[in-house]
Structure 1
Amino acid sequence: MRGTAVLALLLTVSTSVFATDGRREQDYAADIQQQLSMGQVIWLKSAGKTYLALYTDAEKTDNSQVAIILHEMGEHPDAKPLIHRLRTTLPVHNWATLAVQMPIRESGAQSDDYYPLFDEARERIDAAVEHLLKNGAKHIAIVGYGMGALMAAYRLGDKPNDVMALVSISLPVPQTTATQAQSLDLIKKVQLPFLDVYAEFDLPAVLDSARQRRMAGKDNPVYRQIRMDGEDHGYQQDYDLLVKRVYSWLTTTVSED
């Protein structure tokens, strides 16, 4: 009996170790719903879990072009300033947005703690794509920031179906043996229009690997890398310019039929 109880405890612990922090997600969702001033709450479901996403209509189009927005590690779909600005500004430039709550760990968790969540992240991206297709989307792009960019690359390297382009903002190349986080291999697999944006004073895992990422993308004719001068990882000097770079590239690269 004692051995059975111990085994059950270990299974419970191991399951929780590799699961999203549901309570933290709920807290984020409650705060967002109280303060939301633009867009609408959409509840998505995958792997038996329900989670929040924020959908914002494009102002002058039929919403057939949609950008899925994926936040940085430990954040949420309305994180300010960058994620909020992306999800609310792209709609002014003909791209509806769906900012999705990605799996998160407890406060203080490190990058290595997130890699076991990547399969769950992929399922959430799949659910977002499916939701958009059912609601008339024809051109879907993903815009990911930091860990969100790495999660997007993981999904698109495995199966790009129904996604037409990827914008990675501060995509890291971590020093890890985790198969989910082999960024350079993922870049080689993503044969889609691919914009790789990073900051002049970005995090070491991003800045020091810029040339490696360029080399990994050299066989992709629609891979482009941009450095934002004077910026650090937060892009706080001129995040409006960063957002402009994103929607300008999407507009010129992903065209309507």
Structure 2
Amino acid sequence: MNKNTTLLNIIISFTLLSACNLSLAEDSAPANASIENTEAKDNTKVENNSEAENKVYVIPTPQISRISALETSLKNRQLTHQLDTLEANGDPFLTLYQPSLTSSTQGCVIILHSDNEHPDWPDAVAPLRNALPEHSWCTISIEVPDITKRAEAVNTQISTQEDNSQAVELPNQDTVFSRILATIAKAQSNEIEVFALLGYKTGAAYALNFLANNSDTANALILIDIETPATTSHYSLAQQVRKIPQPILDYYINSNAGSSQFAMWRKQAANQRTEINNDFIQLDAVPDRANGKKSKQLLVQRVRGFLKQNTNQRDQRKTLPSVKKGLFYESP
């Protein structure tokens, strides 16, 4: 073999080897790139999952915020002595306590506020819980859990279901009932013997249904602007009045045909009670509300007068000179 042939063979072999290496490099590059991309995507998924696990979602808690604001308000007004936390079925709840401001305590009024409100709500709850202690009644206003979430629409339709054969079940009923019982037990430990239940709007629905199912726990019932939760029949709730032997004050606003019908059902149920010795007093609040600023004062007078006439009143421990009694006592 001559030199030229040998040189030609070397050149051909080198060319083939270079082409083979280039082909192998091209084939391996996409595979490596694919592996790297896959690993990068997997790492991104891990990071995203980790972020999702560590992310804190803020859930609105309107009732907690409302109660916290109430506590702050009372602290700013130097009224923290009224705050008291009780427990029912392992669940703590807030109460506002006001002792009787006289030497003769007649009893205690347990107050239930309406939905999406708090134990010192200004419309009716605060005026009553602050004024009644001046007339020998202690007051305990209880925190009631919300029924309607703020984002939900409120159903204002009057239910006409005429079925009183079944027991009425209100939303959060077990929770509210256990709180009422815990409050009564706490007051009894302080030697309170006479109790009146007072509910405002949906709080009145709870008070009515509670006494219908626990008739030996209170001596009187006061319903202020009673409202029925949307899931409950107005007629069925009204029939619970038949089960209550205690005196009842039904102070309501007759604003439309629906409220008038609901009031009529409550009146009819009261007339069907077998215990006819105790009064059912139903008053339309519209005339009182027409007095503007004096409406809250009139509300207090209505409630105070009802309690005075329909509960056993203790004698005043401190007597006054007979010649001056006319200044302090109403004429018989």
| TM-score greater than 0.5 by the shorter chain | yes
* Cα offset, 1:26, TM superposition: 4.2
2:253 corresponds to 1:253: no
Q: Tell me what 1:6 maps to.
A: none
Q: 1 or 2, which has the higher strand percentage?
A: 1
Q: Tell me what 2:68 maps to.
A: 27
Taking the aligned partners of 1:156 and 1:36, their CA distance within structure 2 comes to 34
* Cα offset, 1:162, TM superposition: 2.6
Identity %, equivalent residues: 24
Q: Which moved more, 1:240-249 or 1:166-175?
A: 166-175
Taking the aligned partners of 1:108 and 1:36, their CA distance within structure 2 comes to 32
Of 182, 186, 189, which residue of structure 1 is paired with 2:236? 182
Summarize the Cα distance change of 1:49–1:57 in structure 2 as closer, same or farther, 3 Å threshold: same
2:205 corresponds to 1:146: no
Q: Gaps spanning 5+ residues in structure 2: where?
A: 1-60, 156-168, 315-332
Q: Matched residue pairs, number?
A: 235
2:271 corresponds to 1:218: yes
Instruction: Calculate the TM-score normalised by the size of structure 2.
Output: 0.63
Instruction: Calculate the TM-score normalised by the size of structure 1.
Output: 0.79
Q: Tell me what 1:192 maps to.
A: 246
Q: Tell me what 1:157 maps to.
A: 212
Check the 8 A contact 1:67/1:141 in 2, yes or no.
yes
Taking the aligned partners of 1:180 and 1:116, their CA distance within structure 2 comes to 14
Summarize the Cα distance change of 1:71–1:236 in structure 2 as closer, same or farther, 3 Å threshold: farther
What amino acid sits opposite 1:77 in the alignment?
P
Larger radius of gyration: 2
Highest RCO, 1 vs 2 (Cα 8 Å, sep ≥ 6): 1
What do you get for the CA RMSD once the two structures are aligned? 3.0
Q: Tell me what 1:239 maps to.
A: 296
Taking the aligned partners of 2:152 and 2:180, their CA distance within structure 1 comes to 22
Check the 8 A contact 1:174/1:182 in 2, yes or no.
no
2:145 corresponds to 1:103: yes
What amino acid sits opposite 2:225 in the alignment?
S
Summarize the Cα distance change of 1:26–1:242 in structure 2 as closer, same or farther, 3 Å threshold: closer
Check the 8 A contact 2:100/2:135 in 1, yes or no.
yes
Taking the aligned partners of 1:213 and 1:71, their CA distance within structure 2 comes to 20
Taking the aligned partners of 1:155 and 1:48, their CA distance within structure 2 comes to 20
Q: Tell me what 2:135 maps to.
A: 93
Summarize the Cα distance change of 1:181–1:80 in structure 2 as closer, same or farther, 3 Å threshold: farther
Give the 3-state SS of the residue equivalent to 1:115 in structure 2: coil
Alignment of 1:1-150 (within 5 A): 23-24=64-65, 26-36=67-77, 40-105=82-147, 106-109=149-152, 115-150=170-205
Q: 1 or 2, which has the higher helix percentage?
A: 2
Taking the aligned partners of 1:180 and 1:210, their CA distance within structure 2 comes to 10
* Cα offset, 1:111, TM superposition: 6.2
